[in-house]
Amino acid sequence: MTFDQSLDDVRVESMFFGEGYMKIERPWARLGIGILVTVIVVIVGFSWVAAIIPTWGSTSQEVALELPGDKLVPTPDILWNHAITIRAPAKAIYPWLIQMGDSRAAFYSITFIENLFCMTSGECRYVNADRIHEEWQNPVKGKQGIIMDFLVIHDYQPDQYVLATATDKMPLKWTWLWYIQPVNELTSRLIVRHRIDVPEEFPRQAFTWIMNMGYVMERAMMLGIRDRSEGHLPSSWEEPLGAAIWLLVFALGVVAAVDFVRYPSGYHALGVGLEAIIILFILTFIQPPMWVRGVLLLMVVSGIVVVYWRRSGRRLFLTRRST
pLDDT, one tens digit per residue, over 66-81 is: 999 999 999 999 999 9
Q: Is the dihedral of CA 287, 203, 149, 190 positive or negative?
A: negative
Looking at the fold, whether 129 and 269 belong to one and the same domain comes out as no
For the chain, how many residues are written?
323
Domain endpoint, select from 197, 229, 261: 229
Domain endpoint, select from 178, 201, 229: 229
What is the DSSP secondary-structure string of 255-290?
HHHHHHHH--S-SHHHHHHHHHHHHHHIIIII---H
Domain endpoint, select from 186, 205, 229: 229
Say what the pLDDT of residue 7 is: 40
The count of domains in the chain is 2
- The strand pairing partners of 182, in sequence order, are 188
**Nearest Cα residue to 180 out of 160, 158, 154:** 160
Looking at the fold, whether 46 and 92 belong to one and the same domain comes out as no
Separation CA 154–CA 132 (nearest Å):
21
User: What's the CATH code of the domain at 60?
Assistant: 3.30.530.20
Q: Cβ(30)–Cβ(261) under 8 Å?
A: yes
260 lies in which domain range? 3-50+238-322
Separation CA 265–CA 33 (nearest Å):
14
Q: Cβ(170)–Cβ(67) under 8 Å?
A: no
50 pLDDT more than 80 = yes
Provide the 8-state DSSP code for 56: T
Looking at the fold, whether 79 and 224 belong to one and the same domain comes out as yes
Say what the pLDDT of residue 277 is: 97
Q: Is the dihedral of CA 246, 248, 249, 250 positive or negative?
A: positive
179 pLDDT more than 90 = yes
291 pLDDT more than 50 = yes
Looking at the fold, whether 101 and 82 belong to one and the same domain comes out as yes
3-state secondary structure of 193: strand
Provide the 8-state DSSP code for 298: H
What is the DSSP secondary-structure string of 208-249?
HHHHHHHHHHHHHHHHHHHHHHTT-PPPTTHHHHHHHHHHHH
Looking at the fold, whether 125 and 197 belong to one and the same domain comes out as yes
How much is the average pLDDT of 97-105?
90
Looking at the fold, whether 97 and 117 belong to one and the same domain comes out as yes
3-state secondary structure of 175: strand
36 pLDDT more than 80 = yes
Q: What is the pLDDT of residues 191-235, one digit of tens each?
A: 999 999 988 888 877 888 888 888 999 999 999 999 999 999 988
Looking at the fold, whether 169 and 189 belong to one and the same domain comes out as yes
Provide the 8-state DSSP code for 170: S
Separation CA 185–CA 179 (nearest Å):
16
Looking at the fold, whether 127 and 152 belong to one and the same domain comes out as yes
48, amino acid identity: W
3-state secondary structure of 194: strand
Say what the pLDDT of residue 59 is: 96
Separation CA 62–CA 249 (nearest Å):
35
- HSE (side-chain half, CA atoms, 13 Å) at 99: 21
Looking at the fold, whether 154 and 278 belong to one and the same domain comes out as no
Say what the pLDDT of residue 320 is: 55
How much is the average pLDDT of 144-170?
92
Separation CA 194–CA 211 (nearest Å):
10
Q: Cβ(179)–Cβ(97) under 8 Å?
A: no
Looking at the fold, whether 22 and 123 belong to one and the same domain comes out as no
**Nearest Cα residue to 23 out of 10, 5, 36:** 10
Say what the pLDDT of residue 198 is: 87
Separation CA 257–CA 272 (nearest Å):
8
Looking at the fold, whether 12 and 75 belong to one and the same domain comes out as no
Looking at the fold, whether 61 and 45 belong to one and the same domain comes out as no
Please state which of the ranges 50-54, 124-128, 148-152, 154-158 shows the lowest mean pLDDT. 124-128
Separation CA 288–CA 109 (nearest Å):
14
